[in-house]
Chains A and B, each alone.
Chain A
Amino acid sequence: MKKEILLTLLCALPLWAGVNGFVETYNRYWVNADSGRWTWNENNFQALFEGAPSEKLHYYAELRFRTFGFPGISSLSDLQRKEKDRVFPYSLELKEAYADIYGFLLDDLDLRIGKQIIAWGTADKINPTSNLSPYDLEDFFDFGAKLGVNSLKATYTKDPWSFDLCFVPVFTPSTMPPPEYADVLFGGTGLSGDYQIRNFSDTIMMPENKITEASEAGSRVSTNIYNWDLSLSYFHGYIGFPLPEKAEMIPDSSSGTVDVRTFLSYPEVDVIGADFSGSLFGLGFWGEGALFVPEDYVLTREIVTPQGPVSSVDTILRRDEPYLKFVLGSDYTFGDGTYINAQYIHGFIHENGRDSLNDYLVFRLEKKFLNDELKIAPLSFAACVTDWGEPGDNYGFVWIPEIEYKPQDNIELTLGAFVIDGKGTGMFPRMKEHDELYFKTKLSF
């Protein structure tokens, strides 16, 4: 019923708001699965509502209505549901909805209130200084995507200076990839030891909705000195990915297996960030670094019998040692229009803790043809070496060749592939069986 009301509202909104948006389909095919397999089937109708009731007011809302996934039919009753949600799994999501008040109290003070994506940093897609909005890792290959977060952002500008103050009342966690990609980012549970796990359950413990527990805050100051954009930032809040805090192992002596119950929570962190961007000898340069100052994070493992816990071992999962994640990048456009962009990344989005940071090189070469109607990116990849002592056994890469064709304005057809290989225990070797082809269409209105 709620969905129907929202849909009615969705249809009525264009009557009073400026509306744009797009219709998009996205399909992926897993090439090296047994005989191949469709892995992604997404159809989006995304509406962007935007308006300015007065010169000092502005609003924006982005609604996504989509069918996502495959028919989940297991019985006749699934086919008989009038919602048809087992045939076409669908969802409605308010991605952003915020109000802007320009010149609030002071001429140079702007407020943005509501669900919004707060994007800090100068690097492309990977921004270690940007921690207020959680990651949306639903589609792992779209790494760097962010979710809107309910927040208040105040920006005071006195050119060339700009000061941001952000407050997030309630921490919102990052979303995770679907089950078939679940181990890609974080590997296995690592909890079983010598036992075979029979049942596994997890419970995530969120911070309490108190200002002292669940709230996050950040501030940023930016300026331009000698034609270089510079900024400093500070964030206090949570890392968006949960860590196990307690693991209960309940052995079953008859079968030699264990049932594992894990309790996960979100570690608190302070982040001091800095970034720059500018131009030198015609090349674009940018850099971004974030010093993460975590607290000790202890995992308690308990062996539990019907009589209660019989043993308990504490392991420090993450020490309170600061660690630095950073990105350095450069880009250039050649005379014939060929564009290259390279970034060196120390610490991917999900890597946290001094010992878990890896080095990545992300590179993209693209060239446009036919008056920008056709864009080809034959050389686009991310590569990583997880152990420089034995790089031959500890490497990985994903190659993403892509062709994008825009036969006319507002329509975009994209064909591409993810070709993955590697050795060792890194993120890419864990994905190497996931070579996929993808096809997207997007029509904007």
Chain B
Amino acid sequence: MGRKIVEEGCTMKNSRRNRRIIGVTASLLFLFVVSLTGGLYAASAVEILSRVDQVMNAPKDRKVTMKMVLVDKNGNEKVRIAESYQKGDDHRLIKFLEPADQKGVGFLSLPNDVMYVYFPAFKKVRRIASHVKNSNFAGTDFTYDDLSTFKYSEDYNPELLEETDSFYVLKLVPKPGVKKDYSFLKMWVDKGSFHPTKVEFYDKSGNLWKVLKMREIEKIKDYFVAREMEMKDLKKQHSTKMIMEEIELDTGIPDKIFTKRYLRRTR
């Protein structure tokens, strides 16, 4: 009897242990599935952003003549015309052709945040430090950082917020140690081309600050290129429309274009 009780006690104990094992196993399995699913989503967001970077920087080089139309809250317009040369994802040269008081002003962006400006009146190329990265460039709504070339995936951690029939919606949070004026970005990525069509920039308080829209996305050669970009600053009620008037891709722009020597040249 005593043995039976003991046996029954053992059976009950075993049963409880088995239930506990099953419970723990189920919990672990659940956690594993959840973590696996979460991991898949994260990997997917990373992959999407990586594809975005690939698409945005796909041409080996590009030369663009662009017209920038600045519109203030009263609808007054100012126009700037500039030439931009880009090679890979970390070399860019921009030269202003108009208006007259900015003609010849140039901006050179090189890897590792090395940036230079050239003002013809001073006859000197001036090194600019990374503190200007978040300042507006030449009165436009684009910052120096926006105009320097960079890969989103190097500066931001992505999270997939939503997937519709046409778009992936990503949330991009600056990586630790990366200084941005934005707390996060929301990016709408076209599923067909992996080209962003809209980016929202949120300030440090989490309020919507700027909206970038990319329109007229065309396939030129084998690359998707937005012929028009519009950056709207909601705080200033000011916008800059950047219209790519002439686009030349993969023409073999030599490295020497991206030097201080060429920054000084008028054309």
Q: Which residues of A contact B (CB under 8 A)?
A: 20-22, 50, 52, 58, 60, 102, 108, 110, 117-119, 121-122, 146, 155, 157, 159, 162, 224, 227, 229, 277-280, 282-286, 331-333, 335, 337, 339, 371-372, 408-410, 412, 442, 444-445
Contact = CB atoms under 8 A, between A and B. Distances in A.
B88 to A, nearest CB: 15
25 contacts: A21-B100, A50-B266, A52-B267, A108-B256, A118-B123, A119-B123, A162-B260, A227-B113, A229-B127, A282-B131, A284-B127, A284-B128, A331-B129, A332-B131, A333-B132, A333-B135, A371-B70, A371-B72, A371-B238, A372-B139, A408-B76, A409-B79, A409-B99, A410-B99, A444-B99
Contacts of B129: 278-280, 282-285, 331-332
Given A20-B100, A333-B132, A337-B136, 5 more contacts: A52-B266, A108-B256, A119-B122, A371-B238, A372-B139
Nearest to A442: B101
A119 B72 CA distance: 37
A22 B260 CA distance: 26
B129 to A, nearest CB: 3
B114 interface: yes
A279 B255 contact: no
Contact of B139 (A224, A282, A371): A371
Interface of B: 70, 72, 76, 78-79, 99-103, 112-114, 122-124, 126-132, 134-136, 139, 179, 181, 236, 238, 255-256, 259-261, 265-267
B100 A117 contact: no
Contact of A278 (B72, B79, B127, B256): B127
A156 B113 CA distance: 25
A206 to B, nearest CB: 26
A382 to B, nearest CB: 19
B98 to A, nearest CB: 9
Contacts of B76: 408
B134 A335 contact: yes
Nearest to B122: A119
A398 B107 CA distance: 33
Which 8 residue pairs spanning A and B have beta carbons closest together?
A284-B129, A279-B129, A444-B101, A277-B127, A409-B99, A372-B139, A444-B100, A119-B123
B17 to A, nearest CB: 59
A441 to B, nearest CB: 13
Most chain A CB atoms below 10 A, which of B102, B127, B136, B236: B127
Given A278-B127, A371-B72, A410 B265 contact: no
Contacts, number: 96
Most chain B CB atoms below 10 A, which of A20, A22, A155: A20
Given A157-B259, A159-B259, A227 B112 contact: yes
B131 A283 contact: yes
A331 B131 contact: yes
A442 to B, nearest CB: 8
Contact of A159 (B114, B128, B136, B255): B255
A186 to B, nearest CB: 27
B136 A372 contact: yes
A408 B78 contact: yes
B135 A337 contact: yes
A60 to B, nearest CB: 8
A121 B70 CA distance: 35
Contacts of B72: 371
Contacts of A278: 127, 129
Contacts of B134: 333, 335
Contact of B100 (A121, A283, A408, A410): A410
B236 A409 contact: no
Contacts of A335: 134, 181
A117 B123 contact: yes
Most chain B CB atoms below 10 A, which of A60, A119, A155, A333: A333
A58 B127 contact: no
A58 B101 contact: no
A152 B19 CA distance: 93
A225 to B, nearest CB: 12
A280 B123 CA distance: 25
Nearest to A224: B114
A372 B236 CA distance: 11
A287 to B, nearest CB: 12
Most chain B CB atoms below 10 A, which of A285, A332, A371: A371
A110 B262 CA distance: 11
A408 B99 CA distance: 11
B114 A227 contact: yes
A279 B78 contact: no
A77 to B, nearest CB: 41
A332 B256 CA distance: 30
Nearest to B114: A227
A50 B123 CA distance: 15
B6 to A, nearest CB: 73
Contacts of A60: 266
Contacts of A444: 99-101
Contacts of A409: 78-79, 99, 101-102
A95 B240 CA distance: 37
A229 B102 CA distance: 26
Nearest to B123: A119
Contacts of B236: 371
A46 B239 CA distance: 33
Contacts of A227: 112-114
B122 A155 contact: no
B131 A445 contact: no
Contacts of B113: 227, 279
A337 B236 CA distance: 13
Nearest to B233: A371
Most chain B CB atoms below 10 A, which of A21, A118, A229: A229
A340 to B, nearest CB: 10
A155 B261 contact: yes
Contact of A284 (B123, B131, B136, B265): B131
A410 B98 CA distance: 10
Contacts of A20: 100, 103
B181 A282 contact: no
Contacts of A159: 255-256, 259, 261
